[in-house]
Amino acid sequence: MSQAPREEWGSRLGFVLAAVGSAVGLGNIWRFSYLSAEHGGAAFVVLYLAITVVIALPILLAELVVGRGSGRSPIAALRHYGGRAWAPLGGLCVCAGFVILAYYSVIAGWTLRFTVEAISHGFDEGAATRWSEIRTGWPAVGWHLAFMGITIWIVLGGIRAGIERAALLLMPLLFAVVCGIAIYAATLTGSGAGYSYFLDVDLNQIWSLEVFAAAASQAFFSLSLGMGAMLTYASYLSRESRLEEESLLISVSDFGVAFISGLMVFPLIFALGLSAEVGESTLGALFVTLPTAFAEMQATGRVIGVLFFGALAVAALTSAISLLEVVVASAIDQLAWSRRRAVWIAGTLAAAIGILPALDLGALDWMDKLAGNVLLIAGGLALAVFVGWVMRDPISELRPGGESPPWLLAWLWLLRIPVPLVLAAVLYQALRALF
């Protein structure tokens, strides 16, 4: 194992933006708003928030504690605190990283293609036919490879010069575009129906294990939990960082962007009278309904459309970077590879796996369900048990030499009992649905 001095983030802001960059991704813009609209509107949003605070936030903090304390990637970090028996859990993180990165890059490739084509010749009316032509096949493979190439290029630069610099540059841009489009959408006549579609309360919807499991999986996916991404990023932090504040900042920003995305997508669609098409599928809405709306809005639509798909591609990029970094950091720590070698080999492997979902939408859907609903939840469950029961003194790892206020005891208690119980139920539901 290499014991070379580890790179560190250049600044606190750099770390927070990189972690928010990992969290804010396709999950926020593509998935969250649809889940809410489908499952009870504002009632779902409240359920989602509750799960984020009680289940996801404790796990996020746990990942940050294990990462910073060990200064290692998942496999080595878990072995550091728990001995050999826990190393396979780190292996599960690496596998999840590969699976998610592979299909995530395919979807990101579509957004890249939409951005580039919108710049070069705008949107056309036949969005539905166009979409059915381009979503799979070798051109989709090509765009997936292009996206993976950009990801590889940034991760090659390392923590400060690659990942941190990209986050400092791209994240403020992304926030500005998402807020800007949401504000613009609010000025359109007829946008009101979009807000009610997104947020109208339907209390009957949220009382089922299915919806609960969907909200929990979404919270995990959205915060990049359960596969060691946050753990790995935290391993490049210095001892002085205040993890409880960072974890709050990350979750608030992640939720904020998800919520504002809903305020951007639906008002646009409804203002243009395209509500009939909205219910069909989440991907369809993103890649068919919105392009149709942009086409109808002509010149303005082209500008908004370029910004919208550009923002999606950027959000996907900063998430893909963190996925690749988990695998790369593990190869560096476990195999003593150079960063260069680890990035090229891991990136090429993930790119190769991604060819399958690029050619077969069924495979993409299955990988998404396997990763999002099963692997991440299983990873989170194991991590809660690990920090709650196995690690010797997580509280003093969080606050070296400090006192332990009651909320810290509450954090540990949550990790010990409620979080594992709830995640076990969610995992049971996910396995039942998958097989």
- List residues near ligand PHE by CB under 6 A: 22-23, 25-28, 100, 221-222, 224, 227, 229, 319, 322-323
Q: Report CA 166 to chain centroid distance, whole Å.
A: 17
Integer CA distances (angstroms), 422 to 165, 413, 417, in order: 38, 13, 9
Question: What is the rounded CA–CA span in Å between residue 230 and residue 233?
Answer: 5
**DSSP character string of 155-212:** HHTHIIIIIIHHHHHHHHHHHHHHHHHHHHHHTSTTTHHHHHHHH---GGGG-SHHHH
Do 135 and 109 touch, CB atoms closer than 8 A? no
Q: CB 226 → ligand PHE: shortest distance, Å?
A: 8
Distance from C-alpha of 257 to C-alpha of 62, rounded to nearest angstrom: 23
- Please tell me the distance from the alpha carbon of residue 68 to that of residue 81, in angstroms, as a whole number: 12
Between 100 and 295, whose beta carbon lies closer to ligand PHE?
100
CA-to-CA dists, residue 137 to 117, 134, 195, 313, angstroms: 17, 7, 36, 20
Q: Cite the DSSP H helix spans in 336-417.
A: 339-359, 361-369, 376-385, 394-398, 406-416
Is 100 or 306 the residue whose CB approaches ligand PHE more closely? Answer: 100
CA 20 to the chain's CA centroid: 9
Q: Which one, 198 or 221, has the nearer CB to ligand PHE?
A: 221
Instruction: Dig out the tokens for 73 from the structure.
Output: 């990637």
- As a dihedral over the C-alpha atoms of residue 150, residue 153, residue 156, residue 158, rounded to 10 degrees, the angle is -70
Cα separation of 431 and 381, whole Å?
A: 14
CB 260 within 8 A of CB 179: yes
Q: 404: which 2 tokens? A: 């332990």
Residue 197's Cβ-count burial label (10 Å; 0-12, 13-18, 19+) is: buried
Q: In whole angstroms, how close is the CB of 319 to ligand PHE at the nearest point?
A: 4
Residue 36 Cβ vs ligand PHE, minimum distance, rounded to whole Å: 15
Query: Residues 98-127, buried b or exposed e (16+ Cβ, 10 A)?
Result: bbbbbbbbbbbbbbbbbbbbbeeebbeeeb
CA 64, 69, 73, 78 dihedral sign is negative
Report the C-alpha gap between 248 and 295 in whole angstroms: 39
| Beta carbon nearer to ligand PHE, 323 or 426 | 323
What are the structure tokens assigned to 357, written together?
């979902």
Q: Which strand (E) or helix (H) includes residue 311?
A: helix 298-335
